[in-house]
């Protein structure tokens, strides 16, 4: 079965989205991720979307929901690697990503998460 791998780095989890999202894949990812947050006692989740040329309202909502799920499990989510064209489209379409922090790349995302729970 197709699923998106979740990589653990210290107390963070990294998800790199490279394939087109559809309903079932998104649900599987949310199931897997919430399981892993609990099992690995993760304090943060990095979602990398550098491979995506397009973020539509479905993916936007999926990311927001995932971040909300992580939050109630006491993990913070940072969205990283957004392409400039995706940022332009998001704003032009009026899409917001409520409750989701963003960072330029994985490294800056790790730094952002580090600051927010180590301080």
| 53 vs 94, beta carbon nearer its own copies | 53
Contact flag: residue 3 with its own copies (CB under 8 A):
yes
Binding to its own copies by residue 10, rule CB under 8 A? yes
Q: Of the candidates 16, 28, 30, 65, which one interacts with its own copies according to CB under 8 A?
A: 16
Distance separating alpha carbons of residues 19 and 10, to the nearest angstrom: 25
**Residue from 33, 48, 62, 64 binding its own copies (CB under 8 A):** 48
Whether 103 and 109 have beta carbons less than 8 Å apart is answered as: yes
Residue 109: C-alpha distances to residues 10, 24, 45 (Å): 14, 27, 9
33 binds its own copies (CB under 8 A): no
From candidates 45, 103, 106, 112, binder to its own copies by CB under 8 A: 106
Task: Give the one residue of 47, 55, 81, 113 binding its own copies; rule: CB under 8 A.
Answer: 81
Alpha helices in 1-119 (DSSP H): 23-40, 57-72, 84-92, 106-118
Residue whose tokens read 């979307």: 49
Q: Give the C-alpha separation, 18 to 11, whole Å.
A: 23
Distance CA 11, CA 61 (A): 25
Q: Which range, of 10-18, 21-29, 67-75, 89-97, touches its own copies by CB under 8 A?
A: 10-18
- Sole binder of its own copies in the list 14, 55, 97, 100 (CB under 8 A): 14
């Amino acid at each position: 079965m197709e699923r998106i791998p979740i990589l653990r780095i210290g107390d963070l989890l990294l998800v790199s989205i490279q394939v087109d999202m559809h309903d079932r894949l998104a649900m599987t990812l949310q199931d897997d991720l919430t399981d892993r947050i609990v099992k690995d006692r993760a304090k943060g989740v990095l979602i990398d979307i550098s491979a995506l040329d397009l973020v539509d309202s479905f993916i936007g909502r999926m990311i927001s929901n995932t971040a909300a799920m992580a939050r109630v499990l006491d993990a913070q989510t940072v969205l990283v690697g957004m392409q400039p064209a995706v940022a332009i489209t998001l704003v032009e379409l009026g899409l917001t990503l409520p409750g989701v922090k963003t960072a330029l790349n994985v490294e800056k995302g790790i730094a952002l998460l580090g600051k927010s729970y180590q301080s």
